[in-house]
Amino acid sequence: MKTRAQLDAGLERLSQMLPPWLESLRHEAQFWPQFRALVDELMADADPVDRAHAQRRIDEMLARHGLRWR
C-alpha cells in the first residue's frame, strides 16, 4: 500500500505532465482514457483513507486546466 507521501508524489508527477500533454493533444477525447488509466494506477494501491484526498487533488488539477471528469 502506498503512503500518503508516495501518493502525493505520483499526483505531483501527473500534475506536471498535464500542461505539455494538453498542449500536444489533437482532440480532447484522446486525453480521457489515458488520464483515467494513470489515475487508476495511482489509486489502485492507495490507502482507502487517502482516496478522498487524492480525488480532491485530481479535481483541482483538472480544474486548473478547465477540465472536469467525464
Q: Which sequence spans correspond to the domains of the chain?
A: 4-64
Distance of alpha carbon 49 from alpha carbon 37, whole angstroms: 21
Distance, CA of 27 to CA of 50 (rounded, Å): 32
Q: What are 13-50's pLDDT values in tens digits?
A: 999 999 999 999 988 888 999 999 999 999 998 999 99
Ramachandran angles phi, psi of 67, nearest 5°:
-115, 155
**pTM of this structure:** 0.89
For residues 2 and 46, is the Cβ–Cβ distance under 8 A? Answer: yes
- pLDDT category, 69, cuts 50, 70, 90? confident
The x, y and z cell numbers of residue 17, run together, are 505532465
> Please, what is the Cα angle at 66 between 60 and 69, to 5 degrees?
65
